[in-house]
Amino acid sequence: MFTGIVTDIGEVTDVRATADDLRRLTIACRYDRGSIADGASIACNGVCLTVVAAGTEGALTWFAADAAAETLAVTTARDWRPGSRLNLERALRIGDELSGHIVSGHVDGIADLVARQDLADMARLTFAAPGPLSRFVAAKGSVALDGISLTVNSVTGDRFEVLVIPHTLKVTTFGALRDGDRVNIEVDMMARYAARLMERP
């Protein structure tokens, strides 16, 4: 489990196909090498990946993780290349502060940035959610975009708007986000389960 509070920006340094439906990703970061164990979970642009190896190179730590067929099918991981920058978050531990909202790291799909308006002290971003997911996005509700916990300001059809504060623009990849970019979206867990319960006879 995660909170949607990004703690580092990593960079993909290597992508290798290890099978027809599996890619091994190597990601450089600033986490302490001693704090990364094999089997640990790290959210990479909102995608929960399992560490299969780790080490150091120069002043940076690196870790490797495998992205399987389902991850490649429903997330932007299929587009990651050496040089891709990723929002990183370590798994939540008992006793950690829950500053964002409960995020599972199980991405639901991909949303498109359709408009960006830079204001004096923040950015207004408008996204288009995939049709089947739009019913889970509600004004004043939570959504995770590329692993960032955000509050939905307004919703119109399949489009929703968020305001991103300067701190978030500075410490995440959203500072460089432009119209047409695609992001991983994870809808609020409570909305998903509430909708499922309403479907039952």
State residue 195's pLDDT score.
Answer: 66
Q: Give yes or no for residue 199 having a pLDDT over 80.
A: no
Between CA 108 and CA 122 the distance in angstroms is 27
State residue 95's pLDDT score.
Answer: 65
pTM for the predicted model, two decimal places: 0.92
State the pLDDT confidence band at 36, using cuts at 50, 70 and 90.
very high
Q: What is the pLDDT of residues 91-137, one digit of tens each?
A: 987 767 777 788 999 999 999 999 999 998 899 999 999 988 998 99
Mean per-residue pLDDT of the chain: 93
Catalytic machinery residues: 2, 41, 48, 50, 68, 106, 151
What are the chain's domains?
Answer: 8-90 (2.40.30.20), 109-199 (2.40.30.20)
**Please, what's the b/e burial string for 38-64 (b: 16 or more CB within 10 A of its CB; e: otherwise)?**
eebbbbbbbbbbebeebeeeeebbbbb
The average pLDDT across 148-168 equals: 96
SS3 81: coil
Which has more confidence, 201 or 194?
Answer: 194
